[in-house]
Amino acid sequence: MSEQSRASENHGLDLRVLAWVLVGLCGLVLTAAAGAYLAWRGASATPRLLAPNAPAQTRVAGVALESAPRSGRAAHAAEKERLLHAHEWIDAYAGIARIPIDVAMRVLVQRDAATRAGAPAPRPSP
């Protein structure tokens, strides 16, 4: 059989090249399947709480009760009372200060009266 008749039988395809392409494709499919299997195994090893569709299993810690709530309440009230009657700087650079409540109410009344009269508002006096 001549070379021409052999080429016409397999339509010009080199069977060795075709075999190597098929081997390569099979290797690629096997590699992809192994990768998918390993990814599936890794995903199923994660805890159920991290799964996106898992039901929420939240536990709320109980309320921590105080052993002596009256002393804590008294200290809180004393601190609030001290803040109502204290002079102190909150932010000295911005000019924000804490003044006693009675002084603050007096300043607000004076500002309101000055605004109604059309005069400039007075500055607070200690």
Q: What is the pLDDT of residues 19-69, one digit of tens each?
A: 999 999 999 999 999 999 988 887 666 555 556 676 666 777 777 777 777
Output the pLDDT for position 33.
94
Residue 80 lies in a domain: yes
Range(s) of the domain holding residue 88:
76-117
* Cα-based distances in Å from 74 to 67, 71, 87, 100: 14, 5, 22, 21
In three-state secondary structure terms, 97 is: strand
Q: What are phi and psi of 88, to 5 degrees?
A: -165, 155
Residue 71 lies in a domain: no
pLDDT, tens digit, for every residue of 70-115? Answer: 778 888 899 999 998 998 998 989 989 999 989 989 989 988 888 8
Q: Any bridge partners for residue 23, and if so which? A: none
Residue 87 lies in a domain: yes
Residue 34 lies in a domain: yes
- The first and second tokens of residue 24, run together, are 């390569």
126 has pLDDT over 60: no
Output the pLDDT for position 3.
58
Do 80 and 45 share a structural domain?
A: no
Rounded-to-integer distance, Cα 90 and Cα 88, Å: 6
Output the pLDDT for position 26.
94
Output the pLDDT for position 38.
87
Residue 103 lies in a domain: yes
pLDDT, tens digit, for every residue of 80-90? Answer: 999 989 989 98
Residue 58 lies in a domain: no
> Count of residues for the chain?
126
Number of domains in the chain: 2
Output the pLDDT for position 23.
94
Residue 68 lies in a domain: no
pTM: 0.36
Residue 93 lies in a domain: yes
